[in-house]
Amino acid sequence: MSFAPRPLVQPWKRANNARTFLILLASVMPAVITALAVLLTGFDANLAVIVVFLPLQIVAAGLVGLRAFGKRGFGDALLVVVTIFFSAFVLVLLLSVFLSVITEGSKAISLQFLTQNNIYISNTTSLDYGGVGNAILGTILIVGITTVLAVPLGIAMAVYLTQSQSKLRGMVRTVTQALSGLPSVVSGLFVLSIIVTFGFSKSGIFGSLALFPLMLPTVARVAEEALKLVPADLRLAALALGAPNYKAFFQVILPAAKSGLITALLLGLARVIGETAPLLLTVNVNNGTSWDPFNGPMETLPAYVYGYLSSSFSSAHQRAWGAGLVLLILVGVLFGLARFLGRAKSLKSKPTKQKASK
Partner 1 sequence: MSDTSVDKPVAARRKLSAGPLGTGDKWFFRTTSIAAYFSFVLVALVLVFLFLKAWPALQTQGVDFIFGTKWVAEDGQPLIMQIGPMIYGSLLIALVGVLIATPMAISLAYMIVFMLGTRLAKVATTLIDLLAALPSVIIGLWGFYVFTPVAINWETTLHHYLAWIPIFQVENVDNAFRGSPFIAGWIVAVMIVPIVTSVTREIFSQLDRDLINGAIALGGSRLSVFRKVILPTSSGGVVGGVLLGLGRALGETVAIFYVLQISFDINWGNLLESHGGGVASWILARFGEATPDEISGLMAAGLVLFVITLIVNFVANTIVNRSQPWRKI
Question: With CB under 8 A as the contact rule, which of the stretches 32-40, 135-143, 155-163, 256-264 interacts with partner 1?
Answer: 155-163
Among 307, 321, 325, 330, residue whose Cα is nearest residue 121: 307
Residue 208 found at the interface with partner 1 (CB under 8 A): no
Return d(Cα 268, Cα 222) in angstroms, integer.
9
- Interface residue with partner 1, options 6, 115, 241, 247 (CB under 8 A): 247
CB of 267 to partner 1, least distance (A): 8
CB-wise, 17 or 233, nearer to partner 1? 233
Residue 140 found at the interface with partner 1 (CB under 8 A): no
Residue 353 found at the interface with partner 1 (CB under 8 A): no
Residue 176 found at the interface with partner 1 (CB under 8 A): yes
Largest CA distance in the chain: 84
Task: Say which amino acid occupies 149.
Answer: L
Among 301, 282, 268, 259, residue whose Cα is nearest residue 147: 268
CB-wise, 258 or 350, nearer to partner 1? 350
Measured on CA atoms in the order 15, 16, 17, 19, is the torsion positive or negative? negative
Residue 129 found at the interface with partner 1 (CB under 8 A): no
Q: Is 110 exposed, middle or buried (0-12, 13-18, 19+ CB in 10 A)?
A: middle
Residue 179 found at the interface with partner 1 (CB under 8 A): yes
Residue 28 found at the interface with partner 1 (CB under 8 A): no
Return d(Cα 124, Cα 108) in angstroms, integer.
14
CB-wise, 75 or 288, nearer to partner 1? 75
**Residue pair 338/219 in contact by the 8 Å Cβ criterion:** no
User: CA 113, 114, 117, 120: dihedral to nearest 10 degrees?
Assistant: 10
Query: Which of positions 222-241 make contact with partner 1 (CB under 8 A)?
Result: 228, 235-236, 239
CB of 197 to partner 1, least distance (A): 7
Query: Which of positions 62-121 make contact with partner 1 (CB under 8 A)?
Result: 72-73, 75-76, 78-80, 82-87, 89-91, 93-94, 96-97, 100-101, 104
Return d(Cα 154, Cα 226) in angstroms, integer.
12
Question: With CB under 8 A as the contact rule, which of the stretches 20-28, 133-141, 180-188, 289-297 interacts with partner 1?
Answer: 180-188
CB-wise, 17 or 181, nearer to partner 1? 181
**Residue pair 113/231 in contact by the 8 Å Cβ criterion:** no
Mask for 250-279, x = binds partner 1 (CB under 8 A): -----------------x--xx-xxxxx--
CB-wise, 275 or 299, nearer to partner 1? 275
- Beta-carbon contacts of 290 under 8 Å, excluding residues fewer than 6 positions away, are 134, 137, 138, 204, 296, 297, 298, 299
Query: Which of positions 319-338 make contact with partner 1 (CB under 8 A)?
Result: 320-321, 324, 327-328, 331-332, 334-335
